A and B are shown apart, each in its own frame.
Chain A
Amino acid sequence: MQLLVNALIAGSLAALIAGGLSLVYGTLGVFNLALGQMVLIGGYATWWLHQEIHAPLIVSILFGLGVGALLSWFTFEVFVEPFWKRHRFLPLVTTIALSMMLDGAILLLFEERPRAIMPGLRPPFHIAGANISGIQITLILLTLLLLAGFAYILHSTPFGRKIRAVVQHPHAAESLGIAAPKLNRIIFILSGVLAACGGIYQGIDQNLSPTLAFAITIKAYAAIIAGGKGHLWGAILCAYLIALLEQLAIGVPWFGGAYIGAGYQQTVALFFIIAFLLFRPTGIFTSRARTA
Chain B
Amino acid sequence: MAKRFLSLLSLGLLTLTACQTGGSGDEGPLKVGFIGPLTGDAAPYGVDMLNGTKMAVEEINTAGGVNGRMIELVVEDGRCTGADSASAAQKLVNVDKVIAIIGGGCSGETLAAAPIAEAASVVMISPLSSSPDVTMAGDFIFRDYPSDALKTKAMASLLREEEFTKLAMISENTDFAQAFRESLKQDLGVDMVVFDEVVDPGTKDFRTLITRLKDLEFDIFFPNGQSDAAIAAMMQQLREQGLLQQAISHDVADSITLGTLAPEAVEGMYIVNVPTAGEGGEFQKTFDQKFGGAQATIAFAAHSYDATKVLAKAIGTVGTAGTAIRDYLYSMPAFSGVVGNFTFDRNGDVVGIPYGLKAFKEGAIVKVRDLPVLP
Contact = CB atoms under 8 A, between A and B. Distances in A.
B299 to A, nearest CB: 16
A259 B209 CA distance: 10
B204 interface: yes
Interface stretch (B59-67, B107-115, B226-234, B347-355): B226-234
A121 B265 contact: yes
Given A10-B205, A207-B261, A251-B211, A113 B295 contact: yes
B124 to A, nearest CB: 23
23 contacts: A2-B241, A6-B205, A9-B207, A10-B207, A103-B39, A112-B40, A112-B44, A112-B47, A113-B228, A113-B295, A114-B227, A116-B260, A119-B261, A119-B263, A131-B240, A133-B240, A209-B229, A211-B40, A212-B202, A246-B205, A247-B207, A250-B212, A265-B200
A251 B197 contact: no
A136 to B, nearest CB: 9
Q: Max chain B CB contacts within 10 Å: which of A107, A210, A246, A263?
A: A263
Nearest to A253: B212
A115 B354 CA distance: 32
Nearest to B200: A263
A206 B204 contact: yes
B158 interface: no
Interface in A1-56: 2-3, 6, 9-10
Given A210-B43, A212-B202, 4 more contacts: A206-B204, A209-B227, A247-B208, A263-B200
A228 to B, nearest CB: 26
A39 B357 CA distance: 39
A250 B210 CA distance: 11
B296 interface: yes
Interface string B166-199: 0000100100000000000000000000000111
A265 B205 CA distance: 11
Interface-central residue, A121, A124, A212, by most chain B CB under 10 Å: A121
Interface residues of B, number: 42
B340 to A, nearest CB: 27
B346 interface: no
B138 to A, nearest CB: 29
B375 interface: no
B236 interface: yes
B263 A261 contact: no
A115 B261 CA distance: 7
Contact of B198 (A3, A122, A209, A262): A262
B261 A3 contact: no
Contacts of B202: 211-212, 215
Contacts of B200: 263, 265-266
Nearest to A10: B205
A107 B39 contact: yes
Contacts of B44: 112-113
A149 interface: no
A120 interface: yes
